[in-house]
Chain A
Amino acid sequence: MTTALSIRGLQKTYDNGFEALKGIDLTVEQGDFFALLGPNGAGKSTTIGVICSLVTKSAGEVSIFGHDIDRDFAAAKKELGIVPQEFNFSQFETVEHIVVNQSGYYGLKKSVALERTEKYLKQLGLWDKRHTQARMLSGGMKRRLMIARALIHEPRLLILDEPTAGVDIELRRSMWEFLQEINAKGTTIILTTHYLEEAESLCRNVAIIDQGQIVENTSVKALLKTLNRETFVLDTREALAAVPKVADYELKLVEEHCLEVDVEKGQSLNELFAGLSEQDIHVVSMRNKANRLEELFVSLVNANAAMQPDQEVSA
């Protein structure tokens, strides 16, 4: 299988001495839908910045589809599309100009540029806004504009840094569908997000970065298997005055119609329901308290924090 992105020993120390990346190794295979997760200041955006050459690395090697970003930068950049976290287009240019100009920076002929601009603006629901200045667009439209711009040279690797931040649920879902569609057509996608539901729904593989180090790098499925405990929320038909007792389960009364229970991996839920039934308590609905990946994420980051010496965050 072809490697889309290869990172070896990547280090970045900023001028103020802050060590943002402490020797990261990461491999993303062609066709993957990959999540790069981490708390704020963990090093996600620095990693992406180095890949797209907006951040100068201190040490290490990065190659995109076999093209080293130092030695073969033009070929590497042609393979890469980038959707940054912050809006980074001229607010006074029209949607069409922004996308067409970007194609020019990749050396695409005008006829190809116009054809692709129409294609991607239509796919992302921006065609009607093509003559509108970027500053007049809504936040969601601006995000979609950045996706259209990143795709104009049809890169094989697309990196999105929190593409759905601040986007409403309906639009987020439509963006998910669009990303799944282009991934199915062969574009490798790397995504950073704070919505772990997004990573769990979309991504096949995941790396968790914390304090400049990769603390986990595996498939989403394998990661979820390591989850030892889940917290469920149970809605009851009867109003409860006190916490019911069921052997081997620790229940918490959240409100009079709502219970919380921690369930260990492999522990049967049947006994829980049987115990509640004996007390004439009927469960009418049940859900995970938190997204499963979120629980793992928190536990991994907490574990890593406990192992690290205190460090001032000053990036």
Chain B
Amino acid sequence: MNAQEQWIALSTIVRKEVHRFMRIWVQTLVPPVITMTLYFVIFGSLIGSRIGSMDGFSYMEFVVPGLIMMSVLTNSYSNVVSSFYSAKFQRSVEELLVSPTPNYIILLGYTIGGVARGLAVGFIVTLVSLLFTELQVHSLPVMVAIVVMTSVLFSLMGFVNAVYANSFDDISIVPTFVLTPLTYLGGVFYSISLLPEFWQGVSQLNPVLYMVNAFRYGILGISDINVGFAFMGVGAFILGLYLYCLSLLNSGKRLRA
């Protein structure tokens, strides 16, 4: 396929993915917004008002970046894992596999679809957060770059999960038992400086901590970790996962007999 044909194939996959999550917006866009609104009300307003300040900011201001990031990464992951696994389950993925579309375009298309949903939900959650607090921007490039990179990373992770999944149960195991604990313990609700030294060290093994803190740095200008290191780490994970996903597609693992 020449470059123009590849562009058409890519835009077709992206359009299909966006159309899919927009068609079922009640399942894809509304629930995360309701969940995050409850977080804002309960943790930010009700409980947060009694906590006081955190790293020099009100608790609501502190928690908002983490909650936005949490909604972005979970929705990027969910979009790709559910869409690609459904395509596998219904065998509609064969439409792509029999076509001349190169594997890297397939992977890119699904990833962009995941990023689109992650950013759409993140944007709506950000708008909702404005009802509860004022949002400042310390560094727009850092904020945008880390949110997009995190979304890409979790979209790729969703792709791996979808390739290996054999049932719909399999696509909920990782979000329930891996993503949720990592997110909750990833500095969304607290600064790791509050933890004993040992648990600070353990927390630094959690990749979500770096993404949440880099995003919080973009908004508030504060971080528990080195932001430069966060970018390098996320970048390295994206490269590694992208190559792994591509090797899965090229080998046809779980996709071709």
Contact = CB atoms under 8 A, between A and B. Distances in A.
Interface of A: 14, 46, 49, 52-56, 73-75, 77-78, 80, 82, 84, 86-93, 97-98, 101-102, 104-109, 149
Contact of A89 (B1, B90, B252): B90
11 contacts: A88-B91, A88-B92, A89-B90, A90-B87, A101-B95, A105-B12, A105-B95, A105-B100, A105-B101, A106-B101, A107-B5
Most buried by B among A54, A73, A77, A91: A54
Interface size range of chain B in the complex:
20 to 34
Nearest to A150: B98
Contact of B100 (A14, A49, A74, A84): A74
B8 A88 contact: no
A54 B92 contact: no
B257 interface: yes
A97 B92 CA distance: 13
B176 interface: no
Q: Is chain A's binding surface mostly helix, strand, loop or mixed?
A: loop
Most buried by A among B1, B15, B100: B100
A254 B251 CA distance: 58
B253 to A, nearest CB: 10
Interface in B69-111: 86-87, 90-92, 94-102
B188 interface: no
Given A14-B257, A54-B94, A105 B99 contact: yes
A80 B98 CA distance: 9
Contacts of B92: 88-90
Contact of A105 (B2, B4, B9): B9
Contacts of B1: 74, 107
B53 interface: no
B37 interface: no
B256 A82 contact: no
Nearest to A46: B257
B6 interface: yes
B226 interface: no
A6 B9 CA distance: 28
Most buried by A among B15, B16, B86, B257: B257
Given A104-B9, A105-B9, A106-B100, A89 B256 contact: no
Contacts of B252: 56
B242 to A, nearest CB: 21
B219 to A, nearest CB: 38
B11 interface: yes
Q: Is chain B's binding surface mostly helix, strand, loop or mixed?
A: helix
A82 B91 CA distance: 14
Contacts of B5: 106-107
Given A90-B87, A90-B90, A104-B12, 4 more contacts: A52-B98, A78-B100, A90-B92, A107-B1
Contact of A49 (B8, B16, B86, B257): B257
A91 B90 CA distance: 8
Interface string B19-40: 1000100000000000000000
Nearest to A52: B98
Contacts of B87: 90
B98 A77 contact: yes
B95 A89 contact: yes
A55 B256 contact: yes
A32 B257 CA distance: 29
A268 B253 CA distance: 61
Contacts of A101: 12, 16, 95
Given A54-B257, A55-B256, A101-B95, A107 B100 contact: yes
Contact of A55 (B2, B11, B23, B257): B257
Most buried by B among A97, A102, A107: A107
A165 B46 CA distance: 63
Nearest to A149: B95
A46 B256 CA distance: 11
Contact of A54 (B2, B8, B101, B256): B256
B9 to A, nearest CB: 5
A102 B4 contact: no
Nearest to B255: A54
Contacts of A105: 9, 12-13, 95-96, 99-101
Interface string B133-167: 00000000000000000000000000000000000
Contact of A82 (B2, B90, B98): B98
Most buried by A among B8, B90, B98, B256: B98
A54 to B, nearest CB: 6
Most buried by A among B11, B13, B19, B95: B95
B8 A104 contact: yes
A77 B100 contact: yes
